[in-house]
Amino acid sequence: MPANRIHLVRHGEVYNPNRVLYEQLPNFHLSDKGKLMALAAAQELKSLKAPVKALFSSPLDRAQESAAPFEELFNLEIQTDQRLIEPTNAFKGKKMGVKNLALKPHLWWYFRNPARPSWGEPYKSIIARMKEAMVAAAESVSGGDVVLVTHQLPIWITHLVLQNEKLQHDPRKRRCSLSSITTFEYVEGKFVELTYLEPAKNLTAIDSGAV
């Protein structure tokens, strides 16, 4: 019998003083507050007595560091899964915003097809790899729960597709805060969303840089 529940956990606040879009760039680590947020997420599942049997993480520093409290509290080894990584994006390393983009007409081409989207990894690609990662994680254990530490867009796109909602969306309106936990039930090979928790909501943070 595979895992009963899959928890998709977003990483905590990142030290990003220039507020650039960090995409898959190296050396973007959790801030001190981000570490507290990651700990809050792990403590939340621990307080709920979640029977976490396995822990998986995106290879990026901010995700690995956010997985560390789960590793300690649940006495598990972090298993790195490339499929959980942040999507690619044409604007990596740049400051985002209407003003910045308005001054750079050569970047407008990337917005030709928002439904794909044309500025980064296609939504269908994100969906496929996230489903593969979730199924593999669920089937790696016999019962219990699994935790997957990943990024905002993969979590939000997973939510949208399972809710049969349109994939094209406004990034500012994603329900996926730092160190949030989106939980799915895994029944007969299908995922059903159960809950959404924000264990670090009392820690005011700067949420910038997500693709």
Domains, the chain, ranges and CATH? Answer: 5-197 (3.40.50.1240)
**What are 88's two structure tokens?**
């690619």
- Which residues of the chain are modeled with pLDDT < 50? none
Whole-angstrom distance, CA of residue 167 vs CA of residue 160: 6
Residue 85, φ and ψ in degrees, nearest 5: -70, 160
- What is the model's pTM? 0.95
The pLDDT value recorded for residue 3 is 87
The pLDDT value recorded for residue 104 is 66
Q: Are 39 and 65 in contact (CB under 8 A)?
A: no
Shortest CA distance to 161 belongs to which of 184, 136, 138, 188? Answer: 184
The pLDDT value recorded for residue 189 is 87
The pLDDT value recorded for residue 46 is 98
Whole-angstrom distance, CA of residue 77 vs CA of residue 80: 10
The pLDDT value recorded for residue 111 is 80
107: amino acid identity, one letter: L
Q: Give residue 5's Cα distance to chain centre.
A: 17
What one-character-per-residue DSSP string does 98-150 give?
Answer: HHHHHT-GGGGGGGS-TTTTTTBS-HHHHHHHHHHHHHHHHTTSSSSEEEEEE
Sign of CA dihedral 58, 189, 50, 79: negative
Q: Are 44 and 70 in contact (CB under 8 A)?
A: no
